[in-house]
């Protein structure tokens, strides 16, 4: 939803005011999170034995669940950033692209993708990060974030935190102000959030 349009929800208007995240907004967020968790599907031993895979795709297959997801993220942002909205939502390749554009539209922000090296045209900023089997590289177009813009990073899951940290490095190289990270799920035993340089929120995992 563009910032030039009136908010369709009175609760959203209240939540958008600094320090006015009221009981109704808290109850709404809790209810939406229960609904979203119930939509997840579990696949044992995928993609390898011993792994329980949480499938988020049913959320996007149902437009009411998709709306619930974006509303939940909106409520969190307004409540935890003093009513301050980001200027830019950055989505990490690839599932950050599923949520980032819709959330950016709702908040009246721009959307910027972080992509693997060689996928974006024109001048790009590049950072490397470590993966399980070696190094990979992330890129953003060099003019996609202006100095001083407030930025939130979004992705589906935080594991070791390496790719999210690389996204943060790109934002900082361009002079952006990193407000925080938002994920749907978290592999908490990997302690990826401990490596990240800004607040971390996971919508459907145990930690806030």
| pLDDT recorded at residue 5 | 31
Question: What does the alpha-carbon distance between residue 105 and residue 91 come to, in Å, rounded to a whole number?
Answer: 13
| pLDDT recorded at residue 208 | 58
| Extents of the domains making up the chain | 10-202
Q: How many helices (H) and strands (E) does the chain have?
A: 6, 9
Query: Which residues lie across from 60 on neighbouring strands?
Result: none
Q: Which residues contact 92 (CB under 8 A, 6 or more apart)?
A: 114, 138, 153, 154, 155, 163, 164, 167
Give me the CATH topology for the region 10-202.
Answer: Rossmann fold (3.40.50)
Question: What does the alpha-carbon distance between residue 174 and residue 153 come to, in Å, rounded to a whole number?
Answer: 14
Cβ contact 202:184 at 8 Å: yes
Q: Which residues contact 64 (CB under 8 A, 6 or more apart)?
A: none
Integer distance in angstroms from the first to the last C-alpha of the chain?
25
pLDDT by residue for the chain (208 residues), tens digit each? 333 333 333 333 333 444 445 889 999 999 999 999 999 999 999 989 988 999 999 999 999 999 999 999 999 999 989 889 999 999 999 999 999 999 999 999 999 999 999 999 999 999 999 887 789 999 999 999 999 999 999 999 999 999 999 999 999 999 999 999 999 999 999 999 999 999 999 999 866 5
| pLDDT recorded at residue 18 | 40
| pLDDT recorded at residue 111 | 98
Cβ contact 160:190 at 8 Å: yes
| pLDDT recorded at residue 206 | 67
């Amino acid at each position: 939803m563009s910032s030039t349009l009136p908010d369709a929800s009175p609760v959203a208007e209240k939540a958008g005011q600094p320090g006015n995240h009221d009981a109704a907004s808290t109850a709404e967020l809790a209810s939406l999170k229960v609904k979203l968790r119930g939509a997840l599907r579990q696949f044992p031993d995928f993609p390898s034995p011993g792994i329980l895979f949480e499938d988020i795709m049913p959320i996007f297959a149902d437009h009411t669940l998709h709306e619930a997801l974006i509303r939940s993220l909106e409520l969190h942002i307004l409540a935890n950033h003093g009513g301050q909205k980001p200027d830019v939502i950055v989505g990490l390749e690839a599932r950050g692209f599923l949520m980032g554009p819709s959330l950016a539209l709702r908040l009246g922000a721009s959307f910027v993708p972080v992509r693997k090296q060689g996928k974006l045209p024109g001048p790009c900023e590049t950072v490397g990060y470590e993966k399980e089997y070696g190094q990979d590289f992330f890129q953003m177009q060099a003019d996609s974030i202006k100095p001083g813009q407030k930025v939130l990073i979004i992705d589906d899951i935080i594991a070791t935190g390496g790719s999210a940290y690389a996204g943060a490095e790109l934002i900082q190289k361009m002079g952006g102000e990193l407000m925080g990270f938002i994920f749907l799920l978290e592999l908490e035993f990997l302690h990826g959030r401990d490596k990240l340089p800004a607040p971390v929120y996971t919508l459907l995992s145990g930690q806030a």
